[in-house]
Amino acid sequence: MVPLHGRLSTRLWAGLATPGTVWLVALFVVPVYAILAVAFGNIDPILRTTAPEWNPLLWDFGPFRMILDRILDPDDLGAVFIRTGLFALAALAGCCLIGYPVAYFVARTAHRSRGLLLALLVLPFWISYLMRMLAWVNLLQTDGYINRLLGWLQLPSNRNWLDGDWPTVVIGLVYGYVPFFILPLYAALERLDVRWLEAARDLGATPVWTFLRVTLPLSIPGLLAASVIVVLPMCGDYFTNSYLTGGSPRTEMVGNQIEQFLRGSSQPQSGASLVIILMLLLVVLMAYYLVTIARSQREASA
């Protein structure tokens, strides 16, 4: 039998979890169910506004199937999904290249200036994402500062960055999301036990070898967490692309198609279906992350 104080403490913890549970239900479960109700629901015949179907027994899967067919067609929405995935991967690579050294420096090297550096990393969030993208439009214009800088460096400087090319979208995504990448990675690197590094050094490992064999493997959970945090929103991003390419179909992402269908079209079901499919794909990513984390924790405790 569980002692009385044990039962009380169980109840206490359950009670303390209530606000979190309510939060989760109100802001996750209900909206997700609402998306399902829209995707499998109807349209008001007069107003053409969405008429969600809350009863799962009456759900109509027709529009969902139609969208699925279009996604399976590599010349249609399939191309948009592949493009979005490639953009997110390229931007993730960019985040790793820029973010890892910064996170490493802040966590391991900068002792006195750490607070200031962290504050500087958070600073861009004070300005709206939209404004920051508009600033990039100015920087990337044919006669903008980026081309002027390239000219000054004797590099080709007449590139039209805003002509609907993928590198510009990737640059925008990296810029927009890199702080989200650095912060969790910083937290992971900062927690790294210095004694591991000292042991490696004592055993004769060079700094590079220590990094490759000790620091990098130990920071993989942090890297994964940071990657998940940036890749999930990147896959749904639509602002970056709209602003930095002047609306070129060559760089259309899934988020743009969702916007198109949900922004007052006669088939919000298609938009909601796209949301569901994107969500399912991202759940797979999330599951991989959780499995990896669980495995590394088991290994750590073994």
Partner 1 sequence: MPGSRRRFLAQSIGFGTMFAAGVPLLGACGGDSASGKRVTKAIKDGLSPEAGPLRVFNFADYVNPDVVAKFEEQYGVKVEITTFDVDAEAISKLASGAVEVDVHHSCAPATLSRLIDGGLLQPLNPSYLTNRGNVLSAFDDPWYDPGSTYTVPYTVYSSGIGYRADRIDPAEIEERGWDIIWDARFKGVTSILDDYREGISLALLRRGITDINTTDVDLIEQASADLQELVDLVNVKVNITGYTDVPEGATTLAHTWSGDMLAGAASYLPEGTDASVLGWWFPKDSKGPVGNDCMAVTSNASNPVLAHLYINFLLDAAIAEENWYWNGYLPPIEGLDAAYLVGQGLTPPNLESAVLTDDIIKNGLTYRPLDLETDQVWEAAWSRFTAG
Q: Which residues bind partner 1 (CB under 8 A)?
A: 31, 34-35, 37-38, 43-52, 70, 76-77, 79-80, 83, 128, 130, 141-142, 160, 162-164, 239, 242, 245-252, 256-257, 259-268, 270-272
- Cβ distance to partner 1 smaller for residue 122 or 130: 130
Nearer to partner 1, 81 or 104 (CB): 81
* Whole-angstrom distance, CA of residue 73 vs CA of residue 20: 41
Q: What are phi and psi of 33, to 5 degrees?
A: -65, -35
Residues 6 or more apart in contact with residue 11 via CB below 8 angstroms: none
Question: Shortest distance, CB of residue 195 to partner 1, whole angstroms?
Answer: 45
Q: Which residue type, as a one-letter code, is found at position 143?
A: D
Using the minimum distance from each CB to partner 1, give the nearer residue, 206 or 266.
Answer: 266
Smaller CB separation from partner 1, 110 or 144: 144
Interhelix angle 114-122/166-191, rounded to 10 degrees, is: 150
Phi, psi of 204 (to 5 degrees): 95, 10
Residue 210 corresponds to which tokens in the numbers above?
């220590």
Question: What's the closest the beta carbon of residue 258 comes to partner 1, in angstroms?
Answer: 9
Strand partners, 43: 50
Nearest distance in Å: CB 73, partner 1:
9
Sign of CA dihedral 180, 185, 188, 193: negative
70 vs 228 by CB, closer to partner 1: 70
Which region holds residue 247: left if phi is over 0, alpha if psi is between -120 and 50, else beta?
left
In the complex, what is the shortest distance from the CB of residue 71 to partner 1, in angstroms, rounded to a whole number? 10
Backbone φ and ψ for 75, nearest 5 degrees, come out as -90, -5
Residue 157's Cβ-side half-sphere holds a number of Cα atoms within 13 Å equal to 14
CB of 247 to partner 1, least distance (A): 4
Q: Hey, is 78 helix, strand or coil?
A: helix
Q: How far is the CB of 4 from partner 1 (least distance, A)?
A: 45
Separation CA 300–CA 302 (nearest Å):
6
CB nearer to partner 1: pick between 80 and 182: 80
CA distances from 95 to 6, 59, 133 (A): 47, 41, 17
| Nearer Cβ to partner 1 (211/233) | 233
Least distance between partner 1 and beta carbon 88 (Å): 17
Name which of 189 and 278 has its Cβ closer to partner 1: 278
CA angle 260, 264, 267 (to 5 degrees): 75
| Shortest spacing between CB 80 and partner 1, in angstroms | 5
